[in-house]
Amino acid sequence: MRTLRTALAQMNATVGDLAGNFAKITAFIEEAIRQDADIIAFPELALTGYPPEDLLLRPEFIDDNLQYLAKLLPYSREITIILGFVDRRDDIYNAAGILHQGELAGVYHKRFLPNYSVFDENRYFQEGVELPVFHYRGINIGVNICEDIWYPGGPTKDQALYGNAEIIINISASPFVMGKVQERNEMLAVRARDNEVILAYVNLIGGQDELIFDGNSLIISEGGKVLANAPAFQEHLLVTDLHPDNVFSRRLHDPRRRKEKRFVPERKSIIHIELPSFEKPPAHPIAEPQILPLPEPMNEVYSALVLGVRDYVRKNGFQQIVLGLSGGIDSALVCAIAVDALGAENVAAISMPSQYTRQSSKDDARILAENLGIAFHEISIRELFDTFQENLTGLFAGREADVTEENLQSRIRGNIVMAYSNKFGALVLTTGNKSEMSTGYCTLYGDMVGALAVIKDVPKMMVFELCRHRNQAAGRELIPGRVITKPPSAELRPDQKDTDSLPPYEILDPIIQAYVEEDLDVEEIIRRGYDEAVVRRVIRLIDINEYKRRQGAPGIKITPRAFGKDRRFPITNGYRLG
């Protein structure tokens, strides 16, 4: 039986860190060789990190990436390497290089360049034309890149039908969105089954600014069955023996394939490349790969947020973080995520009560800090706030107190956490959720101050779910129960509640989802059973607060449509729905 021992290197690359990525790549290669792998595949643009964005407009960056590719050639004397890099010909291409016996034996250029949602590949790359199929030890192998596999009639079909590829290796950088893993796995199973190929899919992991890459690399049989998969949100080398004889056997029983191949002219873009065989001793047996279940939704989201915080902080050269801890649910969740990402010794929290802060909130903040084992500081802003008010008395003469005084408190707190950041070199995390960011229920230069908005894409109702999930995982009330059950309040005036300014979150969140994530108009949202006045008010709040969001910190994307890189609306915008 023909066998190809395949290693999928689920790798956490850092954009622009060519030397660091090179070191990781070589370490994976050495481990794959120890496990007697014939071939190792790395994710899309593993050498440069994904997405490199406007680094691609710098010729020296392209040159350096090619130099590191050349440095990898000697590593292919014992194993075939499939590596994502930036190729330069007449233009630049998102490419997969096939390194074999010390040479660059072939290159595949990505054909389908996504230019929607968070993707801008048409801005940088030229589309590929040729479809190489590699012949190694009597096995036909096709290679393509990420988006190429999502099209039913794309390169996978051409390589399998016209190039007789029995194994397709797709190298990918597919960003995480909650629920996407199952959808993606179902698509890959269909693609493998329809084309009667073994499909090896290797995905990037790690955080890159707003984006999280979840991994979940896997091998799927020619019948659409998962043969092996890698864990989510962690680096992993998935080594599996593939048996393409099963592909040939299945194709013998499928007359549809023969007819389609006979009546459609052969694609001239197919090229065949022979890879000489290595002389190597017989491979040692490997353990049967374990098939891991898909993670539970809240565990999946929580893990993504933890990875996003860890990578954002570490990849930007920081070790410690600081945040304001109010005793409310949002800051409690962010604090728990930060501890899980970086360790309690690297997290500091500052409680900044005013005359409007309830004693219970001060107690809850302290209890949470003790439960998490983090550094905790309490700095009252009462005197600072009084000083501001006193100095503004003349300027504000004859005007009643309003949101101005509320925002002053938030901005005093923003100054305190930024002062801590400057003095101790700790990166500031902000704690606003998607419901607040959507409606502008947040203070510019106040609670929006910081380097990373951890839960910027997490709706308020999901914040409650994530807190309950974290407590369940801990087996105790790590986050005090009162934090979860008490009515949300900014505590910027006496007896204030969020519902004084916003609809209840169980109503607000679905309206935001319909408008922001689904692009529904007013009438469509109203038909879902929501009050027209409430819908119009929420939409107006979303529209007029674009200027706030544009100035806010980047946030980790976990929903299908996130603010920032994903949803791009003009600040100056005279169009209003309805």
Catalytic residues: 44, 110, 146
Cα distances (Å, whole numbers) of residue 411 to 5, 445, 446: 59, 6, 4
Decide: 212 and 173 in contact? Cβ < 8 Å.
no
Decide: 10 and 202 in contact? Cβ < 8 Å.
yes
Query: What phi, psi does 510 have (nearest 5°)?
Result: -65, -35
Decide: 143 and 171 in contact? Cβ < 8 Å.
yes
Decide: 156 and 195 in contact? Cβ < 8 Å.
yes
Q: What are the DSSP E strand ranges found in 317-466?
A: 321-324, 347-351, 375-378, 427-430, 452-453
- Give the ranges where 196-296 is alpha helix by DSSP (H): 245-252, 255-263
Could you give the strand order of the β-sheet that contains 427-430, starting from the edge strand earlier in sequence?
Answer: 375-378, 347-351, 321-324, 427-430, 452-453
DSSP state of 517: I
State both tokens at 142: 């096709």
Output the CA torsion sign for 162, 164, 169, 175: positive
Distance of alpha carbon 255 from alpha carbon 47, whole angstroms: 42
